[in-house]
Homo-oligomer: A and B are copies of this chain.
Amino acid sequence: MKEAWGRWGDADERGALNHINGPAVRDAAALVRYGKTISLAQRISPTMAVPKSRPGIMHFMSRDGGDYAAGRRRPGGFQVADDTVVMPLHSGTHLDGLCHCWYDDTLYNGFSATEVKSNGAAKLGVDKFGPIATRGVLLDFVALNGAPLADGVSIGAGMTRAAIKRAGVALKQGDAILLRTGWQERSDTGGAVDFDTEPGIDAEAGLLLAEAGVSLVGADNFAVEVLPFREGTVFPVHQRLIRDYGIPLLEGLVLAPLADEGVSEFLFVAAPLPIRGATGSPVNPVAIL
């Protein structure tokens, strides 16, 4: 029996997103002052960086302008272009569903891992989330550190508290926490990112956020948590937050443009594609200031 299991009923498949209630959404909307909309997503393309364990994206045009240049007919004058993607769902900026990882053969809320078969997850699919709108809080470790964190830097509870203090906000139930480590930004300005090592939070920092009742934890790196893992552990933050607390992780965020606004809290909206039984979804999360 784990921390958040049963908290929202035995049938619950939305986990910590249940922390977001009407007042939380309303208060988040009230944070909008300028009406400025900022995308927090990477651009998706066949040339984007992906970890070795996953295939890249493919994008195919099934009809395009070249076809008409080559003489394709245009009934009624109408010309059209159309396309298809082949896309691993944990590509680029994406949300992890609660069926994405677990341990002891049991998923969040006690569901059996046997619910997750080749035709998708009968329980805890990312389609069970629905759109997410709540207060977003930016914890800016780049600003705190004066520079992007180096690969392998472990963000602990103390450093997390310092970032919260710097943000000037008190965490509250339902918050979506966005962690800026600078990992993606370094790749923008030079060498390729290395998916085997990155700055990120440790399990203690994850638990601090989980116990504060956050609805979601996002970061501008590959896995939210620090890589490589502490010896003897494998994705410990994933194990604890997703499986024990029902907290979705949001990975691969682009946070520098948001940080440049100098604002720590904002209306945050992220709406995963409701793919039946999927373990995750690419998203284009939005901060509205």
Residue positions of A touching B, CB distance < 8 A: 21-30, 32-39, 41-46, 54-72, 74-90, 99-105, 112-121, 127, 130-133, 229, 232-236, 238-239, 267, 269-280, 282-286, 288
A274→B254 CA distance, assembly (Å): 12
State whether B85 touches A89 (Cβ < 8 A): yes
CB distance from A127 to the nearest CB of B (A): 6
Q: Which residue of B lies closest to A72 (CB)?
A: B117
Q: In the assembled complex, which residues on chain B have CB atoms less than 8 Å from the CB atom of A64? A: 66-67, 70, 116-118, 121
Main SS class of interface, A: mixed
State whether B85 touches A275 (Cβ < 8 A): yes
Pick the contact of A70: B78, B114, B273 (CB < 8 A): B114
A162→B73 CA distance, assembly (Å): 39
State whether B286 touches A234 (Cβ < 8 A): no
A239→B278 CA distance, assembly (Å): 32
A130→B286 CA distance, assembly (Å): 9
Q: In the assembled complex, which residues on chain B have CB atoms less than 8 Å from the CB atom of A119? A: 61-63, 67
Q: In the assembled complex, which residues on chain B have CB atoms less than 8 Å from the CB atom of A118? A: 60-64, 66-67, 118
Q: Which residue of B lies closest to A284 (CB)?
A: B271
State whether B121 touches A81 (Cβ < 8 A): yes
Q: Which residue of B lies closest to A121 (CB)?
A: B81
State whether A35 touches B39 (Cβ < 8 A): no
State whether B80 touches A101 (Cβ < 8 A): yes
State whether B232 touches A76 (Cβ < 8 A): yes
A180→B121 CA distance, assembly (Å): 32
Give 17 new A-B contacts, CB below 8 A, not counting A43-B275, A60-B62, A85-B85: A22-B36, A27-B35, A37-B130, A39-B271, A43-B274, A44-B127, A57-B275, A64-B117, A65-B112, A68-B113, A69-B105, A78-B103, A80-B101, A81-B101, A82-B89, A83-B280, A270-B271
CB distance from A265 to the nearest CB of B (A): 14
